[in-house]
Homo-oligomer: A and B are copies of this chain.
């Protein structure tokens, strides 16, 4: 299945001059959604993954269904102040300034094998922060799965030791 045909180009979003890759037509189509979720799960089967981390908020669209497919648990990584219990945090760079991501301290056990999932791999800033969060809890990041990868931004270089899989590349 050519998933690329389900991506809609939206010019000038979120600001003038940027062409946004809109994934909602893909999510809206039951066959494309099924293919994307099951293919990402299949690519990481048999690797002993017991936790799938989803990055707020669009990583949540993919991570729990992949966790279901891999018989793993789901772990949310959230923006600051949203997780209610004890957390650790890691910073990442934005175009202007910095932001943080948080994870619950009991979300991953030591030596547990972890898959990190998000919709888009661009510069790798948020995925790299999620990777460091898992390492802070002494988990092992086996893989990182994305629907879309913008290869020219070389984000996968910031995810050392992880098997990086994307279903659509630009």
Contacts and interface: CB of A to CB of B under 8 A. Distances in A.
A167 interface: no
Contacts of A84: 10, 13-14, 20, 22, 24
B74 A28 contact: yes
A76 interface: yes
Contact of A67 (B33, B74, B85): B33
A151 interface: no
A95 B64 CA distance: 30
A56 interface: yes
A61 B33 contact: no
A67 B64 CA distance: 12
Given A61-B74, A65-B68, A85 B27 contact: no
B64 A24 contact: no
A54 B58 CA distance: 11
Interface string A47-79: 000110010111011101101100111111000
A107 interface: yes
A159 interface: no
